[in-house]
């Protein structure tokens, strides 16, 4: 990229850029610059091969540079710019690494009048507690964020070159304006450092300090790690960005005061609510922001075992989403029990919090939703990030189309590849304004059209509960009737829950109709266990000799029980016990005992009723005697992964004769071998191949299993307790 890179300030960050530039072949020659007091450090940098040479003369150091990287503390930038001014060249690109951008821009303005157009302010979000060139690493920036804060007059070509430099070092580059950068960093970095310094300072001055440090365990260590950072550097950063930091300190004080008061009043419920909120917020943060960088999870499954005992699998995902949506839009307070505390449902929960709804919990699956009424949502301040959850995105698109504010819906890589035209198409006919990518995928930019939607009569081309529910939610804000006719029955939780909240909705055969003349009245919800999660155990116990399992309190809504019907047709021994109705939904305990399975042609009418269970049903088919054929299931190709292709590939790796077709699969049952399969980030694929281990003849390794947390975080512990030899490895 560059012939010569000059690094001003060869410490941890400057040295690491130099190491990365060399390692990734981004320049021919690296020259360091420092003051005469830094000579030992520069010698060391040369000796370590971090730089090729150095100069104590700035003129000399920058003379032939294509790129000059300023990596000195933020407080020194005024002096550095002043020293550089006589040698500033239009042929060179200048950039920096300062943690505060407002102060850097101000320093440049002071020296040059206006910021030179070939100076590109940038900030790598990476560092270490150690400082100095000895600590420099070529991979310090790998998969780390790098923020460029160009100004209006910054040359686009200079921005492009700086972007390429950092991408070349492995960084994930994003752009922000200067003020936004400083506000974000004040909250995410500067305030936490300040709090860590303050806490250690306070405890360190106490008389019993030796006691405190002697017995300080994980919590203290984790919380205060960053107080080991360079004090002078942090003094400079905090004073450079004090205008953003001081308001945050005030808010922190208010939060601590509130906590103190709750303790004094023994208000344990509010304390629990506060902690639970923080706990979910952090969990969400880890998925959203560290998703790509987080540890990869591998399931190692040893062959054999049987499933025995009793279990209650977590709450139904579809109903959990809807409980948040309708509870938020209701008048009054809704209490939810059995809520699924997994990433997908939590994404919906967070989206409604972002739209101003107060939701307490979840604590042990219990939530209290303070409904804001049908017209009470507030504009979210940021994009609504919905992770992996198709249900959140598709249902929200309908609801948000008729709001008096604009919104943007984003998701992870898998969700960003899934078709959204199926909802934006009919919504547009209702008068909605939603922009997708050219491919018809997220992000969705929704212009709120409150008062301008008109009902339609929509005949759905595919059997999709998400599309149906999306249009019903939009219909609550449209003039006239909105009707949706489905080609085959799909899950009807939205219709049932609307009725449970006293919202008028009529169902005539395959046609559901709604209009805007209704209000939602808060109603408590008891979410049963998810039959889609129970399915892994229904199949596991059916294929593993000696199994005998009782699954308690499972939702058996007739639009969801296709998996029981299909397994029974294959010869499974499943009893439905203790049938009852809970909150408008049928529930039962399912008793499943091992029974040899045989291959079948799966009746097409059962496909939408078992749509999420096919990955594990393919495993059942692989263990059955004879051939199993599935057709009419092209929808499987657009789930969290292409479930036809991904399952066929994995089964073939395990030695199963599985032939994918356009709309299904043909599987020759027999035996399952061992091998390494990939989930392609799809939770149900990961769990299905783990279950296959019960009948495998050799160990199965399932790669890429972090996504199990989207629907069933307890899976690995539960399946182990019931009898599968599964270990979870993080790398």
* Contact residues: ligand S3P, CB under 6 A: 318, 391, 464-466, 469, 491, 611-612, 635
Looking at the DSSP bridge assignments, the partners of residue 505 are 514
- Of 306, 358, 364, 725, the closest CA to residue 540 belongs to 306
Shortest spacing between CB 114 and ligand S3P, in angstroms: 54
Q: Roughly what angle, to the nearest 10 degrees, separates helices 231-240 and 191-204? A: 130
Distance CA 380, CA 365 (A): 25
Could you give the count of Cα atoms lying within 13 Å of 180 in the half-sphere of its Cβ? Answer: 10
- Would strands 53-55 and 27-33 be described as parallel, antiparallel, or unpaired? parallel
Per DSSP, the residues of 558-586 read TTTTHHHHHHHHTT-EEEEEEEEEETTEE
Distance CA 566, CA 616 (A): 12
Q: Which is nearer to ligand S3P, 465 or 587 (CB)?
A: 465
Distance CA 211, CA 294 (A): 35
The answer for 686, left when phi > 0, alpha when psi is -120 to 50, beta otherwise, is alpha
Shortest spacing between CB 724 and ligand S3P, in angstroms: 24
Distance CA 458, CA 446 (A): 21
Residue with tokens 């059955």, as numbered in its chain: 624
- Active-site option among 182, 236, 316, 612: 612
Instruction: Check if the beta carbon of residue 671 is closer than 8 Å to that of residue 698.
Output: no
3-state secondary structure of 125: coil
Instruction: Check if the beta carbon of residue 386 is closer than 8 Å to that of residue 351.
Output: yes
Residue with tokens 């003369």, as numbered in its chain: 57
Shortest spacing between CB 507 and ligand S3P, in angstroms: 16
Distance CA 646, CA 270 (A): 46
First to last CA, the chain: 33
> SS3 letters for 417-453?
HCCCHHHHHHHHHCCCEEECCCCCCCCEEEECCCCCE
Looking at the DSSP bridge assignments, the partners of residue 368 are 335, 360
**Catalytic site includes residue 222:** no
Write down the H helix ranges in 241-365: 242-264, 268-290, 317-329, 343-354
- The number of helix segments (H) and strand segments (E) in the chain equals 25, 34
Could you give the count of Cα atoms lying within 13 Å of 562 in the half-sphere of its Cβ? Answer: 22
Query: Rounded to the nearest 5 degrees, what angle is found at the Cα of 145, between the Cα atoms of 144 and 149?
Result: 150
Distance CA 323, CA 496 (A): 11
> SS3 letters for 248-273?
HHHHHHHHHHHHHHHHHCCCHHHHHH
Q: How many CB atoms lie within 10 A of CB 335?
A: 17
Shortest spacing between CB 202 and ligand S3P, in angstroms: 49
Instruction: Check if the beta carbon of residue 511 is closer than 8 Å to that of residue 483.
Output: yes
Q: Which is nearer to ligand S3P, 166 or 618 (CB)?
A: 618
Q: Roughly what angle, to the nearest 10 degrees, separates helices 156-168 and 12-23? A: 80
Distance CA 523, CA 509 (A): 26
- Of 606, 318, 635, 612, the closest CA to residue 489 belongs to 606
The enclosing H or E element of 148 equals: strand 145-148
Distance CA 444, CA 472 (A): 19
The enclosing H or E element of 179 equals: helix 178-185
Distance CA 578, CA 580 (A): 6
Looking at the DSSP bridge assignments, the partners of residue 189 are none
Instruction: Check if the beta carbon of residue 104 is closer than 8 Å to that of residue 111.
Output: no
Distance CA 112, CA 157 (A): 21
3-state secondary structure of 507: strand
Task: Calculate Rg over the CA atoms of the chain.
Answer: 29
Return the active site residues.
612
């Amino acid at each position: 990229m560059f012939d010569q890179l000059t690094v001003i300030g060869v410490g941890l960050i400057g040295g690491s850029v130099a190491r990365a530039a060399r390692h990734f072949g981004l320049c021919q020659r690296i020259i360091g610059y420092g003051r005469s007091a830094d000579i030992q450090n520069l010698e060391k940098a040369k000796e370590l091969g971090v730089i090729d040479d150095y100069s104590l003369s700035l003129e000399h150091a920058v003379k032939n540079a294509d790129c000059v990287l300023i990596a000195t503390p933020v407080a020194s930038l005024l002096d550095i710019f002043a020293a550089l001014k006589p040698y500033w060249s239009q042929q060179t690109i200048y950039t920096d690494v300062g943690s505060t951008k407002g102060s850097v821009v101000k320093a440049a303005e002071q020296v040059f009048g206006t910021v030179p157009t070939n100076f590109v302010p940038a900030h790598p979000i990476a560092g270490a507690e150690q400082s100095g060139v000895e600590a420099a690493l070529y991979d310090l920036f790998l998969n780390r964020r790098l923020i460029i804060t160009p100004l209006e007059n910054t040359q686009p070509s200079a921005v492009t070159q700086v972007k390429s430099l950092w991408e070349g070092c492995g960084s994930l580059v994003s752009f922000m304006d200067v003020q936004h950068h400083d506000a974000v960093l004040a909250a995410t970095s500067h305030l936490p450092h300040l709090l860590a310094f303050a806490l250690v300072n306070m405890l360190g001055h106490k008389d019993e300090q030796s006691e405190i440090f002697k017995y300080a365990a994980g919590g203290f260590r984790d919380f205060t790690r960053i107080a080991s950072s360079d004090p002078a550097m942090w003094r400079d950063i905090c004073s450079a960005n004090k205008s953003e930091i001081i308001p945050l300190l005030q808010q922190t004080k208010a939060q601590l005061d509130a906590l103190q008061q709750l303790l004094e009043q023994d208000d344990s419920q509010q304390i629990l609510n506060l902690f639970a909120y923080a706990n979910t917020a952090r969990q969400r943060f880890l998925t959203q922001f560290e998703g790509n960088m987080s540890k990869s999870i591998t399931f190692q499954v040893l062959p054999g075992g049987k499933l025995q005992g009793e279990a209650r699998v977590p709450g139904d995902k579809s109903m959990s989403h809807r409980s948040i949506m309708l509870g938020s839009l209701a008048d009054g307070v809704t209490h939810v029990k059995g809520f699924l505390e997994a990433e997908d449902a939590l994404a919906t929960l967070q989206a409604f919090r972002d739209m101003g709804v107060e939701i307490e919990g979840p604590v042990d699956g219990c939530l209290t939703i303070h409904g804001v009424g049908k017209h009470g949502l507030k504009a979210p301040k940021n994009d609504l990030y919905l992770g992996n959850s198709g249900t959140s995105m598709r249902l929200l698109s309908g609801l948000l189309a008729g709001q008096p504010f604009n919104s943007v819906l984003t998701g992870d890589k898998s969700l960003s590849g899934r078709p959204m035209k199926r909802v934006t198409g009919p919504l547009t006919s209702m008068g909605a304004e939603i922009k997708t990518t050219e491919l018809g995928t997220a992000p969705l930019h929704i212009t709120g059209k409150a008062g301008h939607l008109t009902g339609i009569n929509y005949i759905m081309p595919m059997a999709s509960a998400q599309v149906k529910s999306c249009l019903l939610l939009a219909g609550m804000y449209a003039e006239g009737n909105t009707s949706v006719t489905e080609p085959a029955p799909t899950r009807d939780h939205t219709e049932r829950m609307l009725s449970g909240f006293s919202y008028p909705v009529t169902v005539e055969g395959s046609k559901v109709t709604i209009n805007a003349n209704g209000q939602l009245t808060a109603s408590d919800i008891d979410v049963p266990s998810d039959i889609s999660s129970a399915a892994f155990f229904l199949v596991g116990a059916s294929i593993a000799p000696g199994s005998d399992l009782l699954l308690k309190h499972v939702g058996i809504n007739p639009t969801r029980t296709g998996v029981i019907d299909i397994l029974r047709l294959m010869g499974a021994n499943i009893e439905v016990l203790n049938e009852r109705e809970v909150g408008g939904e049928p529930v039962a305990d399912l008793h499943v005992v091992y029974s040899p399975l045989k291959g079948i042609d799966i009746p097409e009418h059962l496909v939408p009723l078992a749509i999420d269970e096919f990955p594990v049903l393919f495993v059942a088919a692989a263990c059955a005697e004879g051939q199993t054929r599935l057709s009419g299931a092209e929808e499987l190709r657009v789930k969290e992964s292409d479930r036809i292709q991904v399952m066929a590939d994995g089964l073939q790796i395990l030695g199963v004769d599985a032939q994918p077709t356009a709309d299904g699969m043909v599987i020759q049952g027999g035996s399952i071998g061992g091998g390494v399969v990939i989930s392609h980030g799809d939770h149900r694929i990961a769990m299905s191949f783990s279950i296959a281990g019960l009948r495998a003849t050799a160990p199965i390794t399932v790669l890429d299993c972090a996504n199990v947390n989207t629907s069933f975080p307890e899976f690995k512990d539960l399946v182990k307790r019931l009898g599968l030899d599964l270990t979870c490895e993080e790398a």
